[in-house]
Amino acid sequence: MRIIPTNPPKASARRTELPLDLASPHVTQGAASQHRLYQALCHAIIGGIVKPGEPLPPSRALAKQTGFRRNAVTTAYERLIADGFAEATVGSGTFVAARIPAQAASLRRAKIMVEPPQHSPLSLGCTNIDQRALQRFRAFAGRRLRAFGPEHLHYGDPRGNRELRAAIADHLLSARGLRCDPDQIMLASGTLHALRIVLGAILKPGDQVWCEDPGYPAARRAIEHCGYRPVSVPVDGAGMRVDKGRASAPAARAAYVTPSHQFPLGVQMSMPRRLELLDWARDADAFVFEDDYDSEFRYDGAPLLSLAGIDQLRRVIYMGTFAKTLFPGLRIGYCALPEQLIGPVTAARAALDRFPATLMEGAVADMLNSGAFAANLRKARKLYREARDVLASTLATASEGELTVPVPSQGLHLVARLDPSIDPLAAAQAKAAAGVGGWLLAETYHRARPLPGFVLGFSGHPVPQLVASAERLAKATLTALRAMRKASKPRRPMRIAAT
């Protein structure tokens, strides 16, 4: 008789392929092959696509997969080892480091983990503007340029044009229930710009800042880059877990939250949780940064009362932008400040970049004061509601139920989730194969266990493109899941056959 070997491979068997996207925005196109491969590998490690301690493919196998020379792979591996991302064992190969050095991880996040290009299908941050609104904006901008005045010929108020600040104050009162004086408004180029200015005015290097986990990676990176210490605070169905924040960092000096439409999960912070957060801020003599992004795009009922509206700007710094309500190219955002911070923040702004650009401020004020801004919002809500519904239904149907797609009541993105037991690697493989934008849900986690899924934008994309992209992503997801399940299926036990 003969023995037919059917033993399964050892758990430590070497990978032969990695889900590397060398055409992604995380990779510098045109750079040397070893540098591009190094960037792609770093992104896979930091993003959790490859886990600590897992083996990397042999250099020959990775060279075959990527089409690069073997010495390019060897050079990339050597650089990973030198930077603390990988470890080499004689006779066993190269493995992801069991623990990535904190300094190296923060540096690599700053260089590698950047948002996808804004024009990619399903990417976040894209917008539409109604043609009528665009015509009005052109007319307002033209009129302001023709009436070019002396205010453009000298340095202005560090907080920006008072006319626009007054229009924003009126808008916040009517739309968000927030009563403030124009003197409390400061213009900036966007939310992150405002965040950096205010942080520099109220915190000292090394101070702790609560951040949602999962949360907005760009805000966390901005906080780290400014020399402060982000503290990951878990999020549940009612928003940030304030009790967890108190337990892990009771001496934190600030918190960054997205209470009206949490990024990325889309949950709304409950009223008890909001009051608990404000109580903590008062007790700890701390401040809360309320990023109220996408608040104007609520599809079911009136917009929720802002956290700053409840607090009446005692401990809350409210941040908003015209990037989504008009268009990102304006580069105009704003924050509303507690009265006690007007002086320090104005001084910090003057020291940083003196004052904001003035040419477009008047045109934006005209949009707000004339009603053209509100008219554009009404049309955009109707358009985005249709896009949201189409994307959600297409993903759910085309994925044969593998993707759970809750329909958000607010905002410009949705989350498509896989079963929590699925390895997030399956989502990474599917997204790379489909060639779409958006985020991996796992990329938004820092310390909490990452969940598999996708964060996908539906605004600013034509409906036919949304349908095609959703079908492509769903198909790629099914393929990745089938391959993963097939690979994990136990082999049949060894049998003895008669000769």
Whether pLDDT at 115 is above 80: no
Q: What is the pLDDT of residues 40-84, one digit of tens each?
A: 888 788 767 788 888 999 988 888 888 899 988 888 888 888 777
Environment class of 124 (CB within 10 Å of its CB; exposed 0-12, middle 13-18, buried 19+): buried
Distance CA 349, CA 194 (A): 9
Q: Is the pLDDT of residue 193 over 50?
A: yes
> How many other CB atoms are found less than 10 A from the CB of residue 162?
15
What is the band of 145 on the pLDDT scale with cuts at 50, 70, 90? Answer: very high
Q: What is the distance in angstroms between the CA of the first residue and the CA of the last residue of the chain?
A: 4
Q: For residue 5, what pLDDT is reported?
A: 37
Do 301 and 260 contact (CB within 8 A), yes or no?
A: no
- pLDDT tens string 256-301: 999 999 999 999 999 999 999 999 999 999 999 999 998 899 998 7
The pLDDT of residue 29 is 64
H or E stretch covering 287: strand 287-291
DSSP letter assigned to residue 206: T
Q: b/e map of 128-159 (b: 16 or more CB within 10 Å)?
A: bebeebeebbeebbeebeeeeeeeeeeebbbb
316: closest CA among 256, 360, 356?
Answer: 256
Residues above pLDDT 70, as percent of the chain = 88
Distance CA 93, CA 57 (A): 8
pLDDT for 13: 52
Q: Mention every residue, 6+ apart, whose C-beta is less than 8 A from residue 119.
A: 126, 437
Distance CA 393, CA 388 (A): 9
Q: Rounded to two decimals, what is the model's pTM?
A: 0.76
Closest-CA residue to 470 (of 409, 392, 406, 411): 392
* Amino acid 491: pLDDT: 58
pLDDT at res. 104: 42
Q: Tell me how far apart the alpha carbons of residues 230 and 282 are, in angstroms, rounded to a whole number.
A: 20
Three-state secondary structure call for residue 235: strand
Q: What is the widest separation between alpha-carbon atoms in the chain?
A: 100
Quick one: average pLDDT of 198-205? Answer: 96
Task: Note the pLDDT of residue 11.
Answer: 38
